[in-house]
A and B are shown apart, each in its own frame.
Chain A
C-alpha cells in the first residue's frame, strides 16, 4: 500500500489533482498543511475528492484543519481526520510515501 501526501492548496497548485489522477485504487491519500483545503465540503474540489474517496482512503491532518479554521463537520464525505500519531501510523504501515508538493 502506498501513502500519498498532498501539502498544497488545490486552488493554487495541481498537486491534489495529479495525486488523484496518478494514485492507484486502495492507496491512501493524506492531506496536510495547505493540502487540507481540499477537504472542504461545498468547494469546487468536492466532487473529485468524494469520487476518489470511494476507491481510496482519504485522510486529513486534524491540527492543520484546526489551524485553518476548517470545521470538522464541514468536510467532504468519506474523509477521515487523523492526528500526528495517525500520520506516523499511516507512514509506518505504508510500503512507500509519495509527497505531492
Chain B
C-alpha cells in the first residue's frame, strides 16, 4: 500500500476488493471480507466486487451448522455499517452458476445524505462494466 493511501496524508483512495473464491472451501472469502472491513474502518472508500465463484459468497440461506465451521455470512451485513455502499456482482458469473439477483442476500446501507434511508448495496454489472470499474479504481486487492 502506498504512503499516500494512508489516512494521515488526508487523501482518501478508492479500494476495490475483487472476490473470486467460493466461501467455505478456503479462507479467502472470510479473510477478504475482514480486510475490506478493516480498510473501511480506517475510512478508506471501499467498494466490493464479486466475480467467478466469489458470487457464491453472497448466496442467501447459507447455514454452516452441520459442517462445523464459522457461519460468517452475517458479517456481510456489517459492510453497510462500515459505510461500504457499493457491491458489484458480475452478471455473467451469476448466469453461469444458475443464479439470479434473487438468490443473493438482500444487503443494504443507510444513506446519510438521504435521511438514512435504507438502499440496496448490490449492483449487477456486466463484465464490460466491471472492467471499467476495475480500471477506474485507485487500489485493487484480490481475494
Bound together: yes
How many angstroms between the C-alpha atoms of A48 and B100 in the bound complex? 21
Q: Report the separation of the CA atoms of residues A71 and B98 in the bound assembly, to the nearest whole angstrom.
A: 12
Produce 1/0 per residue, A22-48, CB < 8 A to B: 000000000001100100111110100
Chain A nearest CB, measured from B113 CB (Å): 33
9-residue interface stretch from B39-47, B57-65, B82-90, B123-131: B57-65
B74 contacts the other chain (CB 8 A): no
How many residues in B have their beta carbons less than 8 Å from beta carbons of A? 23
Given A40-B97, A67-B67, the answer on whether A9 and B22 have CB atoms closer than 8 Å is yes
Alpha-carbon separation in the docked complex, A43 to B23 (Å):
18
Interface string of B61-94 (1 = CB under 8 A from A): 1111111010000000000000000000000000
Task: Indicate which residue in A42, A44, A68 contacts B23 across the interface (CB closer than 8 Å).
Answer: A68
Interface membership of B110, Cβ < 8 A: no
Number of A-B contacts (CB under 8 A): 69
Tell yes or no: B96 within 8 A of A by CB.
yes
Tell me, in angstroms, the Cα distance from A57 to B70 when the chains sit together: 31
**Does A41 contact B63, Cβ atoms closer than 8 Å?**
no
Chain B binding site: helix, strand, loop or mixed by DSSP?
loop
- B17, CB-defined interface residue at 8 Å: no
Q: Which residues of A contact B60 (CB under 8 A)?
A: 69
B52 adjacent to A67 (CB under 8 Å): no
Interface size on A, as a range, is 20 to 34
Q: Whole-angstrom distance from the CB of B136 to the nearest CB of chain A? A: 27
Interface: B24 (CB within 8 A)? yes
Give me 29 A-to-B residue pairs in the complex whose CB atoms sit less than 8 angstroms apart, sorted by A's number.
A9-B22, A9-B53, A9-B56, A11-B96, A11-B97, A12-B21, A12-B22, A12-B53, A33-B24, A33-B25, A37-B22, A37-B56, A40-B99, A42-B98, A42-B99, A46-B98, A62-B66, A66-B63, A66-B64, A66-B65, A67-B64, A67-B66, A68-B22, A68-B59, A68-B62, A69-B63, A69-B103, A70-B59, A71-B61
The interface of chain A, by Cβ under 8 A from chain B, is: 7-9, 11-12, 33-34, 37, 40-44, 46, 62-64, 66-71, 74
